[in-house]
Amino acid sequence: MAESVVSIQGANIYQGDALILENVNFTINRGEFVYLVGKTGTGKSSLLKTLYGELPLREGNGSVVGFDLKGMDWKKVPFLRRNLGVVFQDFQLLTDRNVYQNLQFVLRATGWKDEKLMEEKINEVLDSVGLKSKGFKMPYEMSGGEQQRVDIARALLNSPKLILADEPTGNLDPETSDEIMQLLIQIAKNYGTAVIMATHDFIVINRYPSRLLKTERGKLFDSAAVEQQA
């Protein structure tokens, strides 16, 4: 039986007091690659923020990588996030440290102590994103595509069951977007990591078709549910 990584049932998603998405239902299994699409202001970001514990889940039920979102208090949020990888559009790398030090910083912040194990892990994730020899480089010495690869490497550090990628190809040219897409799809396949990718880029979606979650008019539509009904 497939292992579910995200399970949301009958959830109402709020931003402050405003109800943004109503009666949200979906399950995502290990190794699944899913797009999250929708116009700006339709609830994509609010849904992502709920999944990584920035917005509380007030109504309905939700589980992400084994954590109950309904009972989530601020003390538990860091533990949830240790089991997630988050990839940002604007990379959010520390500009005063090289690539290796950026990754080392995250490991230390999440409780790693052993220098040798940290070195092994950093080399492993850099190798997995094709940057094995670039650990000494400063972020400003790298192209946008390379910086996005570092961001993905950082998301892989704690062997997450789920990666949330927020517009990861938004600032990249088409060729580099292709490389990043292939990398994310490969990670889902090889590591069994589920990937939810929020995007506006329908060129990418058409080139790499996969399951779609779409936010529209206060609802979430799931292409997998539509296929099951067909």
| 56 Ramachandran zone, left/alpha/beta (phi>0; psi -120 to 50) | beta
Q: Give residue 226's pLDDT.
A: 66
- Alpha carbons within 13 angstroms on the beta-carbon side of residue 118 total 16
Q: pLDDT digit string (tens) for 96-129?
A: 999 999 999 999 988 899 999 999 999 999 999 9
Structure pTM?
0.91
The domain boundary, picked from 115, 143, 159, lies at 159
Whether residues 134 and 185 fall in one domain: no
Whether residues 106 and 64 fall in one domain: no
Q: Give residue 99's pLDDT.
A: 97
Whether residues 12 and 64 fall in one domain: yes
Whether residues 167 and 218 fall in one domain: yes
Q: Give residue 74's pLDDT.
A: 85
Q: How far apart are CA 50 and CA 222, in angstroms?
A: 18
**With contact defined as beta carbons under 8 Å apart, do 188 and 32 qualify?**
yes
β partners of residue 222: 213
The domain boundary, picked from 121, 144, 159, lies at 159
The pLDDT of 148-153, averaged and rounded, is 94
Q: pLDDT digit string (tens) for 178-230?
A: 999 999 999 999 999 999 999 988 999 999 999 999 999 999 999 987 665 54
Whether residues 105 and 71 fall in one domain: no
Give the structural domain span for 17. Answer: 1-83+161-230
Whether residues 170 and 201 fall in one domain: yes
Q: Give residue 131's pLDDT.
A: 95
Whether residues 74 and 95 fall in one domain: no
**With contact defined as beta carbons under 8 Å apart, do 189 and 30 qualify?**
no
The pLDDT of 47-59, averaged and rounded, is 93
Confidence tier at 155 by pLDDT (50, 70, 90): very high
Whether residues 224 and 131 fall in one domain: no
Whether residues 15 and 129 fall in one domain: no
Q: How far apart are CA 176 and CA 183, in angstroms?
A: 11
Which of 47, 59, 22 has the alpha carbon at shortest distance from 164?
A: 47
β partners of residue 63: 7, 68
Whether residues 67 and 98 fall in one domain: no
Q: pLDDT digit string (tens) for 121-146?
A: 999 999 999 999 999 999 999 999 99
The domain boundary, picked from 159, 185, 200, lies at 159
CATH number at residue 36: 3.40.50.300
β partners of residue 195: 33, 163
Whether residues 51 and 142 fall in one domain: no
Q: How far apart are CA 79 and CA 26, in angstroms?
A: 23
Average pLDDT, the chain: 92
Using a 10 angstrom Cβ sphere, with 0-12 exposed, 13-18 middle and 19 or more buried, the burial of residue 185 is middle
Domain count, the chain: 2
